[in-house]
Amino acid sequence: MFRRSVKTTTSIASLAYFSTFSKYAYCSTAKASARVVIIGKQNSPGDENLKNLPSSAQIVQYISTVEEVENIDTDANVLFVSEICTPAIMSKALQKCKKVDWIHSRWAGINHLLCPELIENNIPLTNAKGAYSESLGEFCVFGCLYFEKLAPRMLQQKKDKHWEKFTVGMIKGKTIGVIGYGDIGQHCASACKNMGMEVAALRRRPELSSDDPVIDRCYGTTTEGMNQLFAECDYVVCALPLTPLTHHMVGAEQFNHAKPGCVILNVGRGPCIDEAAMVEALKDGRLRGAALDVFEVEPLPKESELWNLDNVFISPHTADVTDSYFQAGVDFFVDNMNRFLEGSEFTNVCDKSAGY
């Protein structure tokens, strides 16, 4: 986004979602029953919590490929995306199932299932936003501590059986910038604030954060605001959803403005950061380091230079894979199923056109 590009102005204008995570309300009329098609394989981890579905909700079918959609139950009125779906599967399912009243994604991200048929209709889409944010907040703190306590040096000295005392830093008093002040970004900000860090955030309307106890200062979503955040922050965490507008939002221009010693963290989506530009900044010292849970291509290719950089901590997209990881998304589905049958307001209704 804030790259040297003709698209910069348009992208900046699109940042309404930085204010806070969007709130959408949707109430359906009460339903006597639900016929559920699960997009995913049977007996996936966490599926045991499906036993908590009300008796009037019946799971009628599991599908996991485009070919299997050909025989989908066309009387289904609920689709539950249990595993990573593709736009092609969702497109075909919606073309064949004309009675669908609600779709739920077990995951927080929805970019993997968006297709024109889904975006353009009025079927509500809900997700598991919030289920994994707390663990990502902890990873953010961990990433800061990893570099502040010089963990790589400690690990190397252990490997070398070498005893040498040295001075370490403290994250207390350091400043972290949060790009993407939604549910994940807010958990990152709160976790770091509790450790004594100062918190800066990007927001379209900074005045709305005047009474936010977590934020010490807030920048507007302009090129100058983004560059100022990088110039003043010791750590910057990217907690963005992936949409066409957030692709490569963080890139070379921001790294050129980075405060000496700045460390970048990514707990949102890999393609939101221009990975090639980040690698160059890590190699030439514009960035001190990176703690990354997500990448442009996953699994991270063996030929990626990131593997060989000593100033990069790599997590294989596992920062939110906790003991309750698989169950949490199902629990959101069960809760919303009760709301669906009662005709009450859903939680976590997504803005399909915005992509999150």
Question: Is residue 202 domain-shared with residue 296, that is, in the same domain?
Answer: yes
What does the mean pLDDT of the chain come to? Answer: 90
Residue with tokens 């485009």: 66
Question: Is residue 138 domain-shared with residue 233, that is, in the same domain?
Answer: yes
Question: Is residue 233 domain-shared with residue 281, that is, in the same domain?
Answer: yes
Record the tokens describing residue 237, joined without a space: 């965490």
For a pLDDT cut of 90, what percent of the chain falls above it?
A: 78
Structural domains in the chain (count): 2
Check residue 11 and give its pLDDT: 30
Alpha carbons within 13 angstroms on the beta-carbon side of residue 112 total 14
Question: Is residue 291 domain-shared with residue 333, that is, in the same domain?
Answer: no
User: 117 an active-site residue?
Assistant: no
Question: Is residue 146 domain-shared with residue 122, that is, in the same domain?
Answer: no
State the average pLDDT over residues 281-295. 98
Confidence of residue 205 (pLDDT cuts 50, 70, 90): confident
Confidence of residue 25 (pLDDT cuts 50, 70, 90): low
Residue with tokens 């707990």: 267
State the average pLDDT over residues 76-96. 95
Question: Is residue 123 domain-shared with residue 140, that is, in the same domain?
Answer: no
| pLDDT tens sequence across 320-353 | 999 888 898 899 999 999 999 999 999 999 999 8
The side-by-side arrangement of strands in the sheet containing 78-81 is 57-63, 34-39, 78-81, 102-105, 125-126
Is residue 224 one of the residues assigned to a domain? Answer: yes
Question: Is residue 203 domain-shared with residue 241, that is, in the same domain?
Answer: yes
Confidence of residue 209 (pLDDT cuts 50, 70, 90): confident
State the average pLDDT over residues 230-249. 94
User: Has residue 3 got a pLDDT over 80?
Assistant: no
Check residue 210 and give its pLDDT: 84
Q: Which of 204, 269, 286, 288 is catalytic?
A: 269
Record the tokens describing residue 197, joined without a space: 């860090």
Q: Are strands 78-81 and 175-179 parallel, antiparallel or unpaired?
A: unpaired
Question: Is residue 96 domain-shared with residue 223, that is, in the same domain?
Answer: no
Is residue 237 one of the residues assigned to a domain? Answer: yes
| Cβ-Cβ contacts under 8 Å for 125 (sequence gap 6 or more) | 103, 104, 105, 110, 118, 349, 350, 352
User: 269 an active-site residue?
Assistant: yes
Q: Are 309 and 283 in contact (CB under 8 A)?
A: yes
- The pTM (predicted TM-score) of the whole model is 0.85
User: Has residue 233 got a pLDDT over 80?
Assistant: yes
In our burial notation (b when 16+ CB lie closer than 10 A, e otherwise), range 68-81 reads ebeebeeebbbbbb
Question: Would you state the torsion angle of the CA atoms of residues 38, 44, 48, 52, taken in this order, to the nearest 10 degrees?
Answer: -20
State the average pLDDT over residues 56-78. 97
User: 247 an active-site residue?
Assistant: no
Cα-only R_g, the chain: 22
Angle 151-160/133-148 helices, nearest 10 degrees?
60
Is residue 177 one of the residues assigned to a domain? Answer: yes
User: Has residue 8 got a pLDDT over 90?
Assistant: no
Check residue 147 and give its pLDDT: 98
Q: Which of 112, 217, 247, 317 is catalytic?
A: 317
User: Has residue 79 got a pLDDT over 80?
Assistant: yes
Q: Which of 298, 305, 342, 345 is catalytic?
A: 298
CA 307 to chain centre: 22
User: Has residue 17 got a pLDDT over 50?
Assistant: no
Q: Are 201 and 181 in contact (CB under 8 A)?
A: yes
Question: Is residue 208 domain-shared with residue 236, that is, in the same domain?
Answer: yes
Give the domain CATH number at 53. Answer: 3.40.50.720
* CA distance to 51, 149, 242, per residue, from 54 (Å): 8, 50, 34
Q: Bigger pLDDT: 241 or 266? A: 266
Question: Is residue 48 domain-shared with residue 170, that is, in the same domain?
Answer: no
Confidence of residue 207 (pLDDT cuts 50, 70, 90): confident
Provide the domain limits for residue 85: 31-131+323-342
Minimum mean pLDDT range among 79-93, 141-155, 275-289, 304-318: 79-93
What does the alpha-carbon distance between residue 11 and residue 248 come to, in Å, rounded to a whole number?
11
Confidence of residue 167 (pLDDT cuts 50, 70, 90): very high
